[in-house]
Amino acid sequence: MGFIKKYLIGLIVIGLLAIMFVLMFFSAKGDSPIVDEIAHIPSGFSYITTGDYRLNPEHPPLIKDLAAAPLVIWGAKFPYDLWKANNPVINNQWEMGWEFIYRSGNNPDTLVLLARIPMMLLSLLFGYFVFRWAKELFGPKAGILALMLYVFNANIIAHSRFVTTDLGISFALFLAMYTLYHFIQKPTKVNFWLAGLGFGLTLITKFSAAILGPTYIIIFIMLLIRKGDKSEKGFLAKINDKRLLKRACSGFLSFLFIVLVGFTFMWLFYIPHTINMPASVQKGLIEESLPGSTFIPTTARNVLEPMANNAFTKPLGQWFLGFFMVTSHVEGGHDAFLMGKTSNQGWWYYYPVTLAIKTAIPFFILLLLVLLFWKKLDHKGWFTETYLWVLPIVLMAMGMQGKINLGVRYMLPIYAFLFLFVARLAKLIDFKALRKNFSVLTIVIIALVVWYVFEAFLIFPHYLSYYNEFIGGYKNGYKYLTDSNTDWGQDIKRLDQWAKDNNVKEIYVDVFPGSFSSRYYLKDKAIEWHVQNGRPNGYFALSATFYQNSRLKKKANGGMDYSWLDNIKPIANIGGSILVYKLN
């Protein structure tokens, strides 16, 4: 008993993370490869084994490297001939993905599951740091509460099981803010280098690291406003000096060098990824990836092509190529669906609506309780309280004015900071008092946490398509949102199982992300179908994404869409993402 009491907090942390791993692993086993994994997995494998970054330059390499490492150790077979052929394009990431996963002699289920395990482990590390920061701010009970909110969040679980950059950038941004906070609180050389490394990790994870630009500017202004209570010694320490000029000089140069450290780390990380990449390939990739004559692609090509000739600048050129590709994508918009509407330019209210229906209701109530009982809770100074909200507000503001409305995954970094904010409620949980008398507040908080945890088990294994009770759960989600909120191609294996259970010998299939997965899992039962083919006769499995987005692509589809299905009730709803009809 003495051992358990001494290490109780640690045992609880380990237990919660172990439960999370079980939920992630066994739900991921049932998920078929999602669309983004088709590009990410072969790209990472090619980086490690060739030192050439021609595939998938629009995303930095870290997450893809981590995912591919087990596959290299496993000895997966890779189609190097197709990779070298650059046919039909240099960045032939999709054809490479289909070939690598489905046609190279690898077991697709084993290959994809192995690639997903590093993502799960990264998520566990993320959870530990959520616990750690909450514990440092508000105590051990708050750390446990924050970790529970993390572990049993359906959206966190969903994106912790796929080879994509969304969970990775959420963790990297959280770590960058954590290390920067510690540097500001205790400006030592060690904390300075950790802050620089934290920033560098965001640069090699996802290009949405750019949100740290306005975030750092706001935090720098906050430092100028915050007046220290004494004259500090040492240049770094003067970031907290009582004299404005000293704070400004130290703060400005500290932030500048943190950014320089981060970019240097990024450059060093990119060197082995481009070391064997011929200049001709990089130049061809630049021309291919940045077509058009508008300002961004023209300027980018003029800057990047000379960088390909120099071994020193080539790694930086590859990073900036990806950055410009993402910038062009943001400017061009992306097809999206929201509550019966389709657009490729987005809606300012898309992300608030998405968070409202894809976040568990008990979590909203916990947020409300923090506000209602604010005076009874532990608070930090205005700087810390504001600091925790800067990145979430910047991210939401940028999302609301942007044209890319692809899913809750773009707002995923917000959750960890909300967990920290809510964690202080742990102070109101008094188990000793509960034994002696009736404590309504303690019971209410515990009941809300139990409700929150119960939902994580109830939705298993359909975490990606989770929706709260506001809209009636995951089976109604496709009526409100599609793409990575609902349907990313994860349920094709489950469609195959449904066909077997119902003795279906033949089924027309139009599912996201395409025909390779359906042909692999359903084999001869699957008959490939598209909206242009009209109305099939018999069983018909239709992706929620293709169903709703066909309205936006009606002109491209020859004036046809799937709106004729609006008044027909599906006979099955597979995981919330695939609708099955029986048509005569």
Domain that holds residue 93: 34-106
Range list of H helices, 333-439: 350-358, 361-372, 382-401, 412-423, 431-436
Buried b (16+ CB within 10 A) or exposed e, 229-264: eeebeeebbbbbbeeeebbbebbeebbebbbebbbe
Q: What are phi and psi of 580, to 5 degrees?
A: -115, 130
The reply to whether 519 and 570 lie within a common domain is: yes
Residue 303 tokens, joined:
């800057």
The reply to whether 377 and 500 lie within a common domain is: no
Burial class (CB in 10 A: 0-12, 13-18, 19+), 22: exposed
The reply to whether 289 and 430 lie within a common domain is: no
Q: Is 556 part of a structural domain of the chain? A: yes
Q: Is 225 part of a structural domain of the chain? A: no
Residue 470 tokens, joined:
């506001």
Q: Write down which residue in 270, 305, 332 finishes a domain.
A: 332
CA dist 319 and 314 (Å) reads 9
Q: What are phi and psi of 245, to 5 degrees?
A: -60, -40
The reply to whether 323 and 421 lie within a common domain is: no
Three-state secondary-structure class, residue 310 = coil
The reply to whether 43 and 70 lie within a common domain is: yes
Three-state secondary-structure class, residue 187 = coil
Q: What are phi and psi of 527, to 5 degrees?
A: -115, 115
Q: Is 73 part of a structural domain of the chain? A: yes
- pLDDT tens by residue, the chain, 584 residues: 566 667 899 999 999 999 999 999 999 999 999 999 999 999 999 999 999 999 999 999 999 999 999 999 999 999 999 999 988 899 999 999 999 999 999 999 999 999 999 999 999 999 999 999 999 999 999 999 999 999 999 999 999 999 999 999 999 999 999 999 999 999 999 999 999 999 999 999 999 999 999 999 999 999 999 988 788 888 999 999 999 999 999 999 999 999 999 999 999 999 999 999 999 999 999 999 998 777 778 888 999 999 999 999 999 999 999 999 998 887 777 889 999 999 989 999 999 999 999 999 999 999 999 999 999 999 999 999 999 999 999 999 999 998 889 899 999 999 999 999 999 999 999 877 766 666 889 999 999 999 999 999 999 999 999 999 999 999 999 999 999 999 999 999 999 999 999 999 999 999 998 888 999 999 999 999 999 999 999 999 999 999 999 999 888 888 899 999 999 999 999 999 999 999 98
C-alpha pair distances (Å), 468 with each of 202, 355, 472: 31, 10, 7
The pTM for the full model equals 0.96
Q: Is 210 part of a structural domain of the chain? A: no
CA dist 6 and 4 (Å) reads 5
C-alpha pair distances (Å), 403 with each of 116, 281, 374: 29, 31, 36
The reply to whether 345 and 447 lie within a common domain is: yes
Q: How many domains does the chain have?
A: 4
Cβ distance 486 to 477 under 8 Å?
yes
Q: Is 121 part of a structural domain of the chain? A: no
CA dist 104 and 488 (Å) reads 23
Nearest to 348 by CA among 394, 419, 388, 402: 402
Strand partners of residue 538: 583
The reply to whether 417 and 303 lie within a common domain is: no
The reply to whether 26 and 138 lie within a common domain is: yes
- 47: which residues sit within 8 A by CB, 6+ positions away? 53, 55, 61, 64, 65, 68, 273
Q: What confidence score (pLDDT) does residue 333 get?
A: 79
Q: Is 170 part of a structural domain of the chain? A: no
Q: Please compute, for residue 140, the number of CA atoms within 13 A of its CA located in the half-sphere on the CB side.
A: 8
The reply to whether 153 and 16 lie within a common domain is: yes
Q: What confidence score (pLDDT) does residue 292 get?
A: 79
CA dist 177 and 390 (Å) reads 10
CA dist 22 and 27 (Å) reads 8
Q: Write down which residue in 427, 458, 489 finishes a domain.
A: 458
CA dist 354 and 368 (Å) reads 19
Calculate helix-pair angle for 35-50, 62-74, nearest 10 degrees.
70
Nearest to 30 by CA among 512, 573, 525, 490: 490
Q: Is 263 part of a structural domain of the chain? A: no
CA dist 108 and 102 (Å) reads 6
The reply to whether 94 and 137 lie within a common domain is: no
Q: What confidence score (pLDDT) does residue 2 get?
A: 63
Q: What confidence score (pLDDT) does residue 23 get?
A: 98
Q: What confidence score (pLDDT) does residue 3 get?
A: 64
Residue 342 tokens, joined:
């389709």
Strand partners of residue 539: 582
Q: What confidence score (pLDDT) does residue 476 get?
A: 97
The reply to whether 504 and 555 lie within a common domain is: yes
Residue 510 tokens, joined:
């139009």
The reply to whether 426 and 557 lie within a common domain is: no
Cβ distance 490 to 34 under 8 Å?
yes
Q: Is 243 part of a structural domain of the chain? A: no
Q: Write down which residue in 431, 458, 485 finishes a domain.
A: 458
Calculate helix-pair angle for 440-458, 361-372, nearest 10 degrees.
160
